[in-house]
Amino acid sequence: MYRYDEFDHRFVNERVAEFRDQVERRLTGALNEAEFKPLRLMNGLYLQLHAYMLRVAVPYGTLDSRQMRMLAHIAETWDKGYGHFTTRQNIQFNWPRLKDVPDILEALASVEMHAIQTSGNCIRNITSDPYSGVAPEEIEDPRITAEMLRQWSSLHPEFTYLGRKFKFAVTGSEHDRAAIKVHDIGIQIIRNEAGEVGYRVLVGGGLGRTPMIGKELRAFLPKADLLPYVEAALRVYNLHGRRDNKYKARIKILVHETGIDEFRAQVEHEFATMDRAAVTAPEGEMERIAAYFAPPELATKPPAPVEFERMQKLDPDFAQWVERNTYAHRVPGYAAATISLKPIGGAPGDATAEQMRVMADLAETYSVDAMRVTHEQNIVLPHVAIGDLYKLYRGLASIGLDMPNKGLVTDIIACPGLDYCALATARSIPVAQAISNRFADNKRQREIGPLSIKISGCINACGHHHIGHIGILGLDKAGVESYQITLGGESTEDARLGDRTGPGFGYDEVPGVVEKIIDTYLDLREGQRETFFQTYRRVGMEPFKEALYATAD
């Protein structure tokens, strides 16, 4: 993974000192709250319902054990002993005190971490594929590009007071696990007909109250042009994006209102006329970064050790975990293992300090010290020898993180909702917990098969409900929580926005509604292999609508 050099260290330390000074100037009144707010947001500090919340950046979700242990230390020292992994591959602490935040930032800096631009109207954490460097079909590790973008976007003088937040995602594989089509700019690493590696650039995707699928801005961008090109795009957005209404200020609205062809013409004009050479990274910089992401040296291991086969027979729970929670590695004899942070009845994405420490130990022992936070709010250990999977599994079982439910109905994404968030209009964690309890039976989950449920507690859609196979949006209707259901959303290269079933449902009704939708699917599917999403695409909304509303009268 990337390691800081002297310049990165100095930069982050200077930012910590700057923030300490900003906090002091807020306390003396030199900065009023309106002025301080964007400054603290740009350093990840929110004021939530009950307390401050600090969101720490995990660039493209990549962590080592030293960093994970520091997160555990922070959770114990300055918070209530746990943290919450987010859909942006970051981690949030929900109970820090303002006066402790500079110390927390200093602790983070000591392990090459920060909270820079995890909030605010600026370029946010660059997200990527949790199977970077693992997936066999990958063209190039997308974290090299993501790290280039992370550095370029950090405290960018021109683009730190944008009209609204700005999110990049990068994938190195055609199979998109980074949801690039629902980001402000999505980047896919591709190979052109001449065999050169470059980028396909998408723009104007996003969720929130006006969800949109990204459109193609550039079919092929040479790698060397990355920084000037994104700079041109950001400049057009910064100059022309709407400022009159914060709900219409994202780039997706500008692209939609301008039209993709005209928007592209403006970006290409800026790109053609700007001083590209002045902006482009010097020769060797991308190679310097790429060296940090060279594949780890993995000792040759048998692809199917006898002991591994035997343990799967002896321990059917383990066999199920292997089937659901591991992913084929490009190196034979290895797998990427997903640690599900979705225990039955738990808050999606939460981990205690103890769980973080054990995950760190396991990553150090079995996964070349590497971990990834996924946008599905789980943790991936990317390089595990297949012969070590059972030991890893037992280690996870000791801390209650051995759920074999990756990609199943209880692998739910949920925003913090009304339990924490000042913007929320409804609860989302308790809804996730109720659904999880309803479908606790593992056999039943496996019978249902791949299914993503995503829950947001307000229209801002942090829980990505639009791209859930079943999306749940909690709203406030005259003081009562009401949950709107969407079906058929998808986040991958087949990205699509879900369709609304109809009028919303009460808080207590949601688990029953989800059950009804799933029963309808089970009745309709053509054979066990047809997934919920496939069935929905085949039969459409009608039968689901009927099941949900016809009987309600």
Q: Which is nearer to other proteins, 30 or 314 (CB)?
A: 30
**C-alpha distances out from residue 551 to 179, 258, 390, 544, Å:** 36, 45, 47, 11
DSSP 305-343: -HHHHHHHHH-HHHHHHHHHHEEE-SSTTEEEEEE----
126 alpha carbon, distance to own chain's centre = 9
Using the contact rule CB under 8 A, the part of the chain among 21-29, 356-364, 368-376, 392-400 near other proteins is: 21-29
Minimum gap (Å) between residue 405 Cβ and other proteins: 40
Minimum gap (Å) between residue 480 Cβ and other proteins: 35
Residues 33-72 that bind other proteins (CB under 8 A): 35, 38-39
Query: Are 146 and 189 in contact, with CB atoms under 8 Å apart?
Result: no
Applying CB under 8 A, among 3, 99, 157, 272 the residue interacting with other proteins is 157
Using CA atoms, how far apart are residues 264 and 242, in angstroms rounded to an integer? 17
Pattern 109-138, other proteins, x by CB under 8 A? ------------x-----------------
Q: Which is nearer to other proteins, 18 or 523 (CB)?
A: 18
Q: Which is nearer to other proteins, 150 or 329 (CB)?
A: 150
**C-alpha distances out from residue 509 to 435, 469, 471, 523, Å:** 10, 19, 15, 21
Pattern 372-401, other proteins, x by CB under 8 A? ------------------------------
- Would the CA dihedral through 524, 526, 527, 533 be positive or negative? negative
Q: Which is nearer to other proteins, 283 or 542 (CB)?
A: 283
| CB crowding 503-541: b at 16 or more within 10 Å, else e | ebbebeebbebbeebbebbeebbeeeebbbbebbeeeeb
β-strand pairing of 168-171 with 185-191: parallel
Q: Which is nearer to other proteins, 35 or 309 (CB)?
A: 35
Q: Which is nearer to other proteins, 150 or 177 (CB)?
A: 150
- Would you count residue 319 as binding other proteins (CB under 8 A)? no
Q: Which is nearer to other proteins, 32 or 300 (CB)?
A: 32
Q: Which is nearer to other proteins, 30 or 265 (CB)?
A: 30
| CB crowding 252-271: b at 16 or more within 10 Å, else e | bbbbbebeeeebbebbbebb
Minimum gap (Å) between residue 274 Cβ and other proteins: 6
Minimum gap (Å) between residue 271 Cβ and other proteins: 12
Q: Is 446 helix (H, G, I), strand (E, B) or coil?
A: helix
- Would you count residue 22 as binding other proteins (CB under 8 A)? yes
Q: Which is nearer to other proteins, 29 or 479 (CB)?
A: 29
Using CA atoms, how far apart are residues 386 and 304, in angstroms rounded to an integer? 7
Applying CB under 8 A, among 46, 82, 85, 159 the residue interacting with other proteins is 159
β-strand pairing of 127-128 with 168-171: parallel
Minimum gap (Å) between residue 60 Cβ and other proteins: 16
Applying CB under 8 A, among 29, 195, 479, 527 the residue interacting with other proteins is 29
Residues 203-242 that bind other proteins (CB under 8 A): 235, 238-239
Question: How close are the terminal C-alpha atoms of the chain, in Å?
Answer: 58
Query: Are 56 and 93 in contact, with CB atoms under 8 Å apart?
Result: yes
β-strand pairing of 334-339 with 499-500: unpaired
Q: Is residue 550 classed exposed, middle or buried when 0-12, 13-18 and 19+ CB atoms within 10 A define those classes? A: exposed
Minimum gap (Å) between residue 116 Cβ and other proteins: 11
Pattern 136-155, other proteins, x by CB under 8 A? ---------------xx-xx
Minimum gap (Å) between residue 519 Cβ and other proteins: 50
Q: Which is nearer to other proteins, 91 or 101 (CB)?
A: 101
- Would you count residue 20 as binding other proteins (CB under 8 A)? no
Applying CB under 8 A, among 77, 160, 258, 531 the residue interacting with other proteins is 160
Applying CB under 8 A, among 158, 257, 262, 523 the residue interacting with other proteins is 158
Minimum gap (Å) between residue 154 Cβ and other proteins: 5
Beta bridge partners of 328: 335
- Cβ neighbours of 483 (radius 10 Å): 25
Query: Among residues 252, 264, 235, which one has the least CA distance to residue 156?
Result: 235
Query: Are 307 and 390 in contact, with CB atoms under 8 Å apart?
Result: yes
Structure-token pair, residue 155: 């405290």
Q: Which is nearer to other proteins, 241 or 488 (CB)?
A: 241
Query: Among residues 359, 297, 337, 312, which one has the least CA distance to residue 91?
Result: 359
Minimum gap (Å) between residue 18 Cβ and other proteins: 5
Minimum gap (Å) between residue 10 Cβ and other proteins: 7
Q: Which is nearer to other proteins, 74 or 234 (CB)?
A: 234
Q: Which is nearer to other proteins, 230 or 487 (CB)?
A: 230
Pattern 267-296, other proteins, x by CB under 8 A? ------xxx--xxxxx-xx--x--------
Helix 510-524 to helix 429-438 angle, to the nearest 10 degrees? Answer: 50
Spatial neighbors of 267 by CB under 8 A, at least 6 apart, are 217, 229, 232, 233, 236
Query: Among residues 120, 109, 148, which one has the least CA distance to residue 227?
Result: 148
Q: Which residues bind other proteins (CB under 8 A)?
A: 5-8, 10-11, 14-15, 17-18, 21-22, 25, 29-32, 35, 38-39, 121, 151-152, 154-163, 235, 238-239, 243, 273-275, 278-282, 284-285, 288
